Structure 1
Amino acid sequence: MQPEVAADVARLEPAASVAPGHTLRLHVFASGSRGNATVVEDATTGAGVLVDCGICKRDFFTRCDEAGFDPAHLAAILVTHDHTDHTKGLGVVLRGLAKEGVEPVVYVDDAVRAASSELNTLEGKHDLRPLHAGDALSLAGMSVHAFRTSHDAASSCGFRFEAADGDVVGFVTDTGIVTGEAHEGLTGARLLALESNHDVQMLKDGPYPYPVKRRVGSDVGHLSNVQAAEELAALLSAKLEQVVAMHISQNNNTYRLPVDTLSAVIKREGHTACVQAAYQSMLVSVS
């Protein structure tokens, strides 16, 4: 464990029990360039939806145990895009779930399916259904709206999860800009998972080749800390309570910088929302 991660772990507190009217929980199993997986859970039923699966079977089931989420209640898996850090664990996790008698539906864009070797291997073995930006799905007791993001993938999207009582989780990673669709989808969220991938100066001075630096910082790359802060300022509302900085680069950022940058927006606006980082190899749950 990196020293700064260990220092932050000491500051984290276990997620509190769900307050009245707070139906949804967000469990970030892993977030970063080495693998991504997040569960959005309806706490009233225990049912959940997995967003992406770029982690191994062992880590998936370990994080489920740590989060107190029963994988038997996993209703569906949503795939944001075709990059392997979001898909490489799908096959092994689905096989592990099948051994437990759990067979969640996998929703994925047709273009993403065609571009992904991992998804191609699932054809005929699992229930794969189409997913497109603009779709509204009813999953695990939640209304799930997919919106377009801006990334150098075959197709990419983020999600708005809304419970029957109006509780909302907004989820967006892997986007170079916040599209109008994405902003609309994130508006009014109580729990917000927002990409804060890199520090602009660290990316400029860092070890990546210039073409990679240009790609990361482009409109089809990843949101910087500053871009995330600008979007957060536009999303502040009385409903917002928790912000999780997502997909933090381990080469071009620290776990502290996004939290400080986003927290500065909260403080400046006199808001009360809490901000924390999502980690590559440690569970973060908010409710």
Structure 2
Amino acid sequence: MANDVLRLHVLASGSAGNAAVIEDVRTGRCIAIDCGICKRDFLGRCAEAGVDPRAIEAVFVTHDHTDHTKGLGVTLRGLGKLGCTPPVYALDEVLLFSSELRRLAETTDQRRLSWDDPVSAAGMEVVAFPTSHDAAASCGFRVECSGKALGYLTDSGVVTPEAHDALRSVHTLALESNHDVDMLANGPYPFYLKQRVGSQTGHLSNDQACDELAKLLTEDGAGRLEAVVAMHVSRNNNTYRLPREGFERAAASAGHDVSVSVAFQDRLVSTG
């Protein structure tokens, strides 16, 4: 059964830029996660998704890398011209080390996230959990609204215990499936970058993502999962087909009927 409360609109996902919007489909109220794309693409894909950008009531930032933050300034100014001035939530370390957020400190409402301390925004409860990435600090989010839950995990070399706990019993799961191990090993990246991507503070491989999905589907609450989307898929070390097939196999092995989709770098994908 489709999630009749929370809908995830992935506006862009990948190393060139990331942004997503979570919508309460009953009210139209929204939050955004990250903004590493230009204002034109952000607003254009919101329109394509049927999302009114003026309904975005908060922006949550996963970490300080520029592919998640570089579009914040211009996009927030664009939203401001529409009469929308959402606060930006981030961990202390992100506020301190992100050059983009420091630059915007005087012109935006920036608020500190704390571990396990829910933030209420747009009628949703948002909790941050730690991920494992080579950033000043990095996190994912669990979003709950009216008995439905969405888990959002991207940019992590491993699934931390806290992340696994946060992803239990969600109805919609956004889970990084960045690279195929063999494609990364034999691909065009220099050695140091291959080491970084495949490290415990890099990005989840297809195998790691499938293993995590398989674990979640064997635990209490697994029957709630309705949709999973593969995130941050590498265009150099992966294909868009491999994560989909991997997630479909994991769901089939668990005897679970789940809708599987893949997020793209340059076009909208909506799920939930």
Aligned-partner SS, 1:63: helix
Deviation for aligned residue 1:270: 1.4
Counterpart check, 1:224 vs 2:189: no
Counterpart check, 1:119 vs 2:101: yes
Deviation for aligned residue 1:131: 1.2
Which residue does the alignment assign to 2:165? 184
AA at the equivalent of 1:120: R
Q: Over residues 90-130 of structure 1, what are the superposed CA-to-partner deviations in whole Å (9 max), with x where a residue is unaligned? A: 00000000111100010011211221111111111010001
Partners of 1:24 and 1:39 lie apart in 2 by: 10
Which residue does the alignment assign to 2:268? 283
AA at the equivalent of 1:172: L
AA at the equivalent of 1:170: G
Q: Gaps spanning 5+ residues in structure 2: where?
A: none
Pairing of 1:259-278 with structure 2 (within 5 A)? 259-278=244-263
Pairing of 1:66-85 with structure 2 (within 5 A)? 66-85=48-67
Partners of 2:121 and 2:52 lie apart in 1 by: 16
Partners of 1:53 and 1:33 lie apart in 2 by: 12
Which residue does the alignment assign to 1:174? 155
Partners of 1:189 and 1:52 lie apart in 2 by: 21
AA at the equivalent of 2:116: G
Which residue does the alignment assign to 1:153? 135
Q: Provide TM-score, normalisation by structure 2.
A: 0.97
AA at the equivalent of 2:243: P
AA at the equivalent of 1:32: G
Which residue does the alignment assign to 1:38? 20
AA at the equivalent of 2:100: E
Identify which of 248, 259, 262 aligns with 2:233. Answer: 248
Counterpart check, 1:130 vs 2:112: yes
Partners of 2:258 and 2:232 lie apart in 1 by: 20
Deviation for aligned residue 1:135: 2.3
Aligned-partner SS, 2:237: coil
Deviation for aligned residue 1:86: 0.1
Partners of 1:105 and 1:40 lie apart in 2 by: 15
Deviation for aligned residue 1:43: 1.1
Runs of 4+ aligned residues of structure 1 deviating over 6 Å after TM superposition are: none
AA at the equivalent of 2:237: N
Aligned-partner SS, 2:224: coil
Greater Cα shift, 184-193 or 109-118: 109-118
Aligned residues: 268
Which residue does the alignment assign to 1:3? none
AA at the equivalent of 1:50: A
Contact 1:133 1:157 in 2 (8 A): no
Which residue does the alignment assign to 1:13? none
Aligned-partner SS, 2:35: coil
Deviation for aligned residue 1:132: 2.8
Q: Over residues 249-280 of structure 1, what are the superposed CA-to-partner deviations in whole Å (9 max), with x where a residue is unaligned? A: 01000000111111111111211002111000
AA at the equivalent of 1:248: V
Aligned-partner SS, 1:119: helix
The percentage of counterpart residues that share the same residue type is 58
Over the aligned positions, Cα root-mean-square deviation in angstroms equals: 1.1
Aligned-partner SS, 1:125: coil
Identify which of 18, 28, 31 aligns with 2:10. Answer: 28
Deviation for aligned residue 1:220: 0.4
Aligned-partner SS, 1:108: strand
